Amino acid sequence: MTDLVPFLMFQKRDAAEAMAFYTSLFPGDSVLSEERYGADGPGPEGTIVMAEFTVAGQRVRCSDSFVKHGFDFTPSTSLFVTVDSTDELKRLYEALGEGGGTLMPLDDYGFGPFAWVNDRWGVSWQLSAKG
């Protein structure tokens, strides 16, 4: 069976913090599995080797990279979330945007209520309401 799961690579040893925050945003989301580095490495002890969790019911994987890369998250790839109400959209916009940055402020751009933010870790989120 072929399987496609979005993957987030964190470079500042904060994958566990981000994963806990993301799973707190939507009812029913949880950490499905996680493996952490031990004292023998190669990554710093306690950081995430590989974890899988759900966000709005979507499986996502993440890790803490102990190798520093010349790239990080970019808005050209984003997580697109559609919610049932503008109240829920506002809640997510505020929660995800806190400590991050706004790419498109919450507004109606001709296709319904929408916002686009980078969260405090640099992950890009497009947020939409059904009307």
Task: Say what the pTM is.
Answer: 0.92
Amino acid identity at 20: A
**Cis before residue 27, ω within 30 degrees of 0?**
no
Tokens of 74: 């970019």
pLDDT of residue 41: 87
Which domains, and CATH codes, for the chain? 7-64 (3.30.720.100), 78-129 (3.30.720.110)
Measuring CA to CA, how many Å separate 75 from each of 36, 79, 82, 124? 28, 9, 17, 5
pLDDT beneath 50: ranges in the chain: none
CA–CA separation, 84 and 93 (whole Å): 14
